[in-house]
Amino acid sequence: MKALYICQNAIGDIIVSLPSIHFLKEECKDISLDICISESYTDIFLADIHINSVIAVPEEWYEMNTVLPITDIVSHFTKHYDLVVDSMCIPQTAELIERIHPKKAIGIGFTDVVHAYDNYLTLEQWAAWDNGDRTASYCFADIVRLYTNVCSFKEPKLYIVEAAKKQGREWMEEHNPEQRFVIALNPGAGSEAKRWPMSNFIELAQKLKKRGFLPLFIFGPKELSLFQEYSENLAKTGFLIFHSATFSIQPLAGILNQCGLVISNDCAVMHVSAAIGRPTVGIFGPSRSSIWFPYSREKNRVVEKNVPCRKNCNGFCSHFSCLTDIQSEEVLQASLELLDLSIDRK
C-alpha cells in the first residue's frame, strides 16, 4: 500500500501532527509512506523511521496566491497512491489530489476543497479544538482516524540525525569547556504577539546565572533584529549565543539536545525542544497551551496568564497583558521546579 501525507507549512504545526503521521505507519504495517512538505522543512523527517520518502515542494507553492503551475508540482509525485491524507487542505493541495487520482483521499471539509476528498472531517468536528479540551495533535489525529477508525495518542517525537547530535556536542564542547549546566532561552517567535518581552528574558537569564547556570540565547532567522540588537551585550554579560540564519531543524535540535532545560516562547523552538525530550518551559501569550502544548506536564511546564481578553484574541492588541503580566520570577520558579523533578528521575 502506498500513501501520501501532505504536511502543514509551519514547523510547530508539522511537529504537533507527528503523532498522526507515526500512527498511520504503525497501524498500517504494509504501508509505504511519503511525506509532502515545503523544501524549507524537509530535515524534520531526516531521521524519522516512519517515513519512506520525503517529497520537497517549493515554499511558494503553499502561498495562497501562488503562480507556480500545477504541472510543475505534479511531476514530483507518483500517480499510484492508495491513500492521500491532506492536513493542509488548501486549493493547491486539493488540485494536486485531483491530478494524481489516489484510490482514497481524506481531509477537512472546507468549502473550497471538500470536493477533492472521499471522506472528510466536518467543520464542526475540526473546530472542536477551539473548545480547549483537545490538543492540536488530537485534531490532526482525527483526520487519520477517518481511514484507520482508531488513532491512539502519543506525544510528538522528533528524531535527530547522528550528525546533528555530534555537531551539537562539538559546539557545546567549544563554547562551554567547563561543562557548566546550560539552560537555553528562546526570546523569539514567528509572531511578535507571542514574544515575552526581551527585558524579561534578560532578567531571567541573570537570575539563572546567579544560581550557577549558563544561559544560552537562541535566535532564529525571524529574530535577526533581536540578534543584532542584543547579541553584543549578551556576550559581554557572559551568556552563550546560538544564531541560525536558516530554518534547518536538525542543527537546532542538536544544540538543544545538549541543554539541561529549554525556556521558550510558544514557537518552533519550543516544539522542537519538547519533541526531542528536553525538559521544556513554554511561555504562552494569546495562544492556549491546552491546544498547542501536547506534551507531558510531568516532564515539562507551561507559564501563562488567562487574562479576560485571551479567549478571543486575534493577536493584534496593543497591550499584550497575557505576556507582560508574566514575571521573570514565575518562569524561574517553574524552571527550578522542573529541574528538581528532572534530577530526581536520573
List the CATH number of the domain containing 309: 3.40.50.2000
Mean pLDDT of the chain: 92
Same structural domain, 141 and 215: no
39 and 61 together in one domain: yes
User: What does the pLDDT read at residue 345?
Assistant: 44
* 318 pLDDT tier (thresholds 50, 70, 90): low
Cell 535540535 locates to 253
CB 129 within 8 A of CB 291: yes
Maximum alpha-carbon separation in the chain: 61
Same domain, 169 and 105: no
Question: What is the spatial distance between Cα 335 and Cα 346, in angstroms, rounded to a whole number?
Answer: 17
DSSP-derived secondary structure letter, 153? -
Average of pLDDT values for 97-121? 96
Tell me: do 270 and 293 sit in the same domain. yes
Domain range for residue 226? 162-345
Residues 212 and 239 in one domain: yes
| pLDDT over 90, % of the chain | 79
Nearest to 157 by CA among 3, 56, 18, 299: 18
Of residues 172 and 308, which shows the higher confidence score? 172
The three grid cell numbers given for residue 332, joined into one nine-digit string:
524561574
195 & 132 share domain: no
Using alpha carbons, select from 35, 36, 27 the residue that is nearest to residue 52: 35
CA 208 to chain centre: 26
Short-list 294, 252, 241, CA closest to 161: 252
Residue 69 C-alpha cell reads as: 503551475
Other C-beta atoms closer than 10 Å to the C-beta of 103 total 12
Total structural domains within the chain: 2
- 118 and 178: one domain? no
Does one domain contain both 206 and 317?
yes
The C-alpha cell of 52 is what? 519512506
pLDDT at 2 over 70: yes
Distance in angstroms (rounded) separating the CA atoms of residues 324 and 321? 5
- Of 97, 125, 148, the position where a domain reaches its end is 148
Question: Does 132 share its domain with 175?
Answer: no
Confidence of residue 45 (pLDDT cuts 50, 70, 90): very high
Residue 153 counted as domain residue: no
* Same domain flag for 287 and 188: yes
Question: Is residue 84 a part of any domain in this protein?
Answer: yes
The pLDDT assigned to 346 comes to: 42
Look up the pTM and report it. 0.94
The mean pLDDT of 223-238, rounded to a whole number, is 95
259-314 pLDDT per residue, tens = 999 999 999 999 999 999 999 999 999 998 999 999 999 999 999 998 877 666 66
Of 148, 171, 196, the one marking the end of a domain is 148
Strands 214-219 and 240-243: parallel
Does 168 lie in the same domain as 142?
no
User: What is the CB neighbour count within 10 angstroms for residue 316?
Assistant: 7
